[in-house]
Structure 1
């Protein structure tokens, strides 16, 4: 997919078309469980505080639940609990930054800018750290801006109570709701593969129906994982595991469709797949299998992807440990932009005569978090949503009865709507969250009426948006133009060099330098993609298409590292010719562009190393084949990965 310049003659880039694309909100189902949980945990403590004359305590408990409700997505339950366990302590600790209130303003500006830079760097490594650091920046802004927060440590403790209450209700949902969409998608995939294996076992003449169902089930499983990855706030191990399952299933599918597929092996595969379906439904590991060769080896690799390496005979050593690479220049640049904008936001907070000016750094934190998507798009949507939300808050305050109990009822209604609004779009999320927070503050600080709060919130949000657009977007040319296709071609060149050096027995220093370069390029590409996801078409749509491609390239790098570790342990073993062939496959001119979303994807069988006795080589061969299945030829390129055509890496001089 060629990059397109933004020109005034291009209708896709006209302001009216861009804004309409930005405002599109797809329909979203009503998440009943999340809605009820948000209403009870946010409004319940506030109501209890109103009835017992401890409104401030009720608000801090409600705030702990509100941040979790605003950050929860339809992930696996174990992922949600892990998010609570990691993000809540980070956010609670940020309350203690309120002690900086008595420090010189210049020191606060420097400290918060440095903390924002560190948050930006950490966000590139983990989805959980991304959510946690974002919440910490938000809580820090509240602690520094609201005098009622002092003495700070009690507020942090009550915040933890709110998170614990939210986790308790989430646990009740786990016990009462037996639906597991992720598990059902995996069952559908295994069932479709079993049907295809049975058809090959009886040598059916027409495989059209079962083949289509198998491909559809594989794509549906991957699409679900891809949507969850796109909605996440950073890299997620859940998507990496799902992508590994997709790769293994893709290779099993290709083996079952091969002309030389053995009917006996296909029958044994169908039986084993039925056992795997039962194991998934019962949430347990199947009995170990003894795969000999061919299709059953591919099935064993699929089982290893689902349940862990223990299910695969002769599994290669894990390579995930090999990614302690330092942050690349793109990640450092986005973190720098976040730090600069945060420092400017706190400077504006202290210098400008704006009531509730802490909303300026709060807006910057929400918009500028580098892994949350397009800075310009989020700034635009946040400004529009804040204005609309403030108008809604004023109307509700004028129509609703006076008193804290009535305000708690209104808070419950907005909290119940929030999960649905999050599913629609960022604009709807801001539109609902703005009046919710304004009414919360109005209840606790009664002398600040909602009308005044609305005006202050709009002014502070606009100021924060101006800081973001100017200091975080317009003055950085690289923030406005992301060339994924060109940088990815250079990444494939680096991958091929990495595999070639491992195969050729290069020295450990040379291999380590090339490995660092590969992971740096992959880190930069992932960071660029994450920022582009929220852009309007065509940039945003292209970014979504590139997510699985970049994830597949990361797994290829991990497998090469695994092969490198194997050879480091046995330096006398000669470099495999199969590994040299696989290095050449990465330079094949048949894969140059990301396949578009609507294009048909055909599984590609491994050619070199498919039946290697070395599990590291075999897994690497499958990963490369899966990567090639997601790429299409580029008529304009002469040779993929050619040093002649290798583009300049983003940030490199001409």
Structure 2
């Protein structure tokens, strides 16, 4: 029997570094900043939020934003109703901010549904305008409803946001009569953005889904290119593969769930995604060999990606090197199988496992959503937190005279969004972004004459919103601030005098959020990061058992077991991706949350490597390696469960007291899993490292 050798990972070292191969969040870059600036160095969580991301410039979105916000202004000036044009542009602004989906059907939901809630919000706000404490009570109740429905999902979150934002605007600004004018104009602006978005649908109807599937292939090609090489490149690219697969499956399966009847194009894209999974599974096995793959392999995967994106039905014969060892045989077999499935115009739909049953009727799903929301503790906590902050903001501006007081509640709403990231860092970044945006706004309001000159200025400012939004929250705030001030000036005619109250109100709103929405809530200080990580370790234990569990002797039973293993692998990698995102979000929090996340971070990486090693071992067994001894997988699973229990009981890894590491049989296919588990123990308690 031939076995592949894998590079031994010294106990106590594997997993100690982060997925980028550098030290963790408190590593060298932070030390360098501290050394340069001394005790005045900005905190790491703030520097991370101010560092722009490297996302590409969304040129199409920038063009849509420029047209959607500037054209209504031009029409308003042309008919001598600039206030009406400003309201339509405000509605367009909400549509531009909410246009974040790729697939056209999802973009309809992301823009149209929130516009309805926004219309309801501004109508309610208009009806209570000038009614003092009645307005305070109504806005507080709307905030409770907004917060609770935001927990349902992405579209509901944007809908809840617009419901509250427009209600605050309607209650704080005098709107044109009759009462339905403002809802109509705001909705017209959002629907104008939707119309501009859908212009490309006839030409690019399924292109977003197809592009997402092709992107998953290209991400895998990058991963295979880095497999076996030194440095952190492979682990970074493996994360990109997981994210690309999650995104592609979400688009394709979500689209298929809404299509009634047989759709050959969706079946084909789903089949192209499914045949990618064996290649994804083989990548960790190839990496553990510590020997780079032939360049022909990632080149072949990229060629398949091009065929997927262009919808081609012809693929040249693959010129692949002869496989050497189990992992290369796995890659060769998976790649050749993918090359036979990708060009098929109509794959057998009965062999496509989409893991989605027949969706329930809409009314049934609606009842489930409402029931889950009403009985969810997290939904009520967020709703009450948002209602408390809005109630305090509106009470303050009712007692103390503050110019443009509705901006206080607007700031609270924008900052206190749970699915947008850390509340604390968002409050600080919003204050900084607002200050930066006010510099631009001050120049515009003081130097540009009101009137038709506002149109070209709006073209430039509106185009910057999508460009800056992909760079980070502070940059998005800096881009949106001058646009809002310019539109507000068209409604209030105060010019440069808007700048000072805008900054003051934003600072007051941030302060209310930090005190009433962050400091007063125990969960802000006692996060459940350890519990979430422990759940991931338990999931890894179940995955080990599933990967090496006994399968029935029948062909049908073996196929069912293989399908269950594939589903378990997809679930564990998706779960680990969510854990990683939650930890990265927690790293932007100030102490103690950020420090606690930094301490646990190496163990997150170690669990990912345990799962990778398990996948690699399963691939090797499938292609000729000797299966592990009876009970070996169960013993590893029990060790993982013991580690999970320790994580739940302690606040820091150094408080763990893991069981002594078992003897490692170097000839076993599970030897790399044992090594990674030993490394996880060393991270949990470095004093026990051999």
Q: TM-score range by the shorter chain?
A: 0.5 to 0.7
1:532 pairs with 2:586:
yes
In 2, the alpha carbon distance for the partners of 1:74 and 1:376 equals 27
Quote the offset at 1:102 in angstroms: 5.7
Partner residue in 1 for 2:510: 465
Q: Residues 496-544 of structure 1: CA distance to partner in whole angstroms, max 9, x if unpaired?
A: 79999xx9xxxxxxxxxxxxxx9xx99x97996596375479949969x
1:397 matched to 2:445 = yes
CA distance in 2, matches of 1:535, 1:28: 23
User: Which residues in structure 2 correspond to 1:482-631 (within 5 Å)?
Assistant: 482-490=527-535, 492-493=537-538, 532=586, 534-535=588-589, 539=594, 587=641, 589=643
Asked whether the 8 Å contact 1:222–1:246 carries over to 2, the reply is no
Contact 1:371/1:530 (8 A) holds in 2: no
Check if 1:67 corresponds to 2:112: no
Partner Cα distance (2:506, 2:276) in 1: 43
Q: 2:129 touches 2:171 (CA, 8 Å); kept in 1?
A: no
The residue number in structure 2 matching 1:341 is 389
- CA 1:218/1:462 → structure 2, altered by over 3 Å: closer, same or farther? closer
Once residues 49 and 448 of structure 2 are traced to their aligned partners in structure 1, the CA distance between those partners, rounded to angstroms, is 33
Partner of 2:42: 17
Contact 1:345–1:467 under 8 Å retained in 2: yes
Q: Distance in 1 between matches of 2:474 and 2:679?
A: 35
**Number of equivalenced pairs:** 526
Q: 1:92 aligns with which of 113, 119, 128?
A: 119
Q: 1:211 to 1:391 in 2, by over 3 A?
A: closer
Query: Residue 223 of structure 1 is aligned with which of 237, 240, 244?
Result: 240
What's the offset of the Cα at 1:32? 1.9
Residue aligned with 2:175, SS: helix
Q: Is the 8 A contact 2:86 2:491 kept in 1?
A: yes
Give a deviation string over 1:535-578, Cα, whole Å, max 9, x none.
Answer: 479949969x98x989x99xx9xxxxxxxxxxxxxxxxxxxx99
The answer to whether structure 1 residue 415 and structure 2 residue 440 are counterparts is: no
In the alignment, which residue of structure 2 is the partner of 1:280?
308
**Secondary structure, in 3 states, of the residue corresponding to 1:148?**
coil
Contact 2:129/2:172 (8 A) holds in 1 = no
Could you state the TM-score of these two structures normalised by the residue count of structure 1? 0.63
**Aligned twin of 2:60:** 33
1:7 — aligned with what?
Answer: none
The 1:146/1:39 distance shift into structure 2, 3 A limit, reads same
1:141 alignment partner, one of 168, 171, 184: 168
Cα separation, 2, equivalents of 1:209 and 1:428: 33
5+ residue gaps, structure 1, are 5-9, 197-207, 260-268, 287-293, 504-517, 557-576, 594-624, 639-654
Is residue 371–residue 527 contact of structure 1 (8 Å, CA) maintained in 2? no
Alignment of 1:269-348 (within 5 A): 277=305, 280-282=308-310, 313=351, 315=353, 318=356, 329-330=377-378, 332-348=380-396
Give the whole-Å Cα distance in 2 for the aligned partners of 1:72 and 1:481: 34
Is contact 1:88-1:163 (8 Å) kept?
yes
Contact 2:61 2:466 survives alignment (8 Å): yes
**For the structure 1 residues 27 and 399, does the alpha-carbon distance in structure 2 shift closer, same or farther, using more than 3 Å as the test?**
farther
State the shift of 1:103 in Å: 8.5
User: Which of 172, 181, 196 matches 1:169?
Assistant: 196
Query: Residue 98 of structure 1 contacts residue 152 of structure 1 at CA under 8 Å; is this kept in 2?
Result: no
Structure 2 unmatched runs, 5+: 1-15, 17-23, 27-32, 255-269, 290-296, 315-329, 360-364, 550-571, 612-630, 648-671, 686-690
Structure 1 residues 52 and 103, CA, compared in 2 at 3 Å: closer, same or farther? closer
1:44: how far off? 0.7
Distance 1:72 1:541 in 2: 35
Q: Distance in 2 between matches of 1:60 and 1:588?
A: 59
Matched, 1:124 2:151: yes
The alignment status of 1:160 with 2:187, answered yes or no, reads yes
**For residues 454 and 26 of structure 1, do their structure 2 counterparts lie closer, same or farther at Cα, with a shift above 3 Å needed?**
same
Q: Tell me: higher relative CO, structure 1 or 2? Use CA pairs within 8 A at least 6 residues apart.
A: 2
Deviation of 1:141 after TM superposition, in Å, equals 0.9
Q: Deviations over 1:343-368 (max 9, x none)?
A: 11121232220121111111100011
| Native 8 Å contact 2:57 2:467 kept in 1 | yes
Q: 2:453 aligns with which of 389, 394, 406?
A: 406
Residue in 2 that maps onto 1:475: 520
Q: Quick one: which of 432, 449, 454 aligns to 1:384?
A: 432
Partner residue of 2:215 out of 185, 205, 208: 185
| 8 Å CA contact retained: 2:144, 2:386 | yes
Q: 1:428 aligns with which of 471, 475, 480?
A: 475
Partners of 1:592 and 1:249 in 2: CA distance: 35
> Does the C-alpha gap of structure 1 residues 224 and 534 become closer, same or farther in structure 2, counting only changes over 3 Å?
farther
- For 2:279 and 2:235, the matched residues in 1 are separated by 7
Shift of 1:150: 4.6
For residues 90-141 of structure 1, what are the alpha-carbon distances to aligned partners after superposition, in whole Å with 9 as ceiling and x for unaligned? 2222222125416954443334333323333333331222222112221111
Q: How many angstroms apart in 2 are the aligned matches of 1:579 and 1:106?
A: 65
Return the offset for 1:590.
10
Q: Output the CA distance in 1 between the equivalents of 2:275 and 2:379.
A: 28
Q: Structure 1: how far apart are the matches of 2:411 and 2:149?
A: 20
C-alpha distance in 2 between matches for 1:175 and 1:105: 50
Change over 3 Å in CA distance of 1:182–1:146 after alignment to 2? same
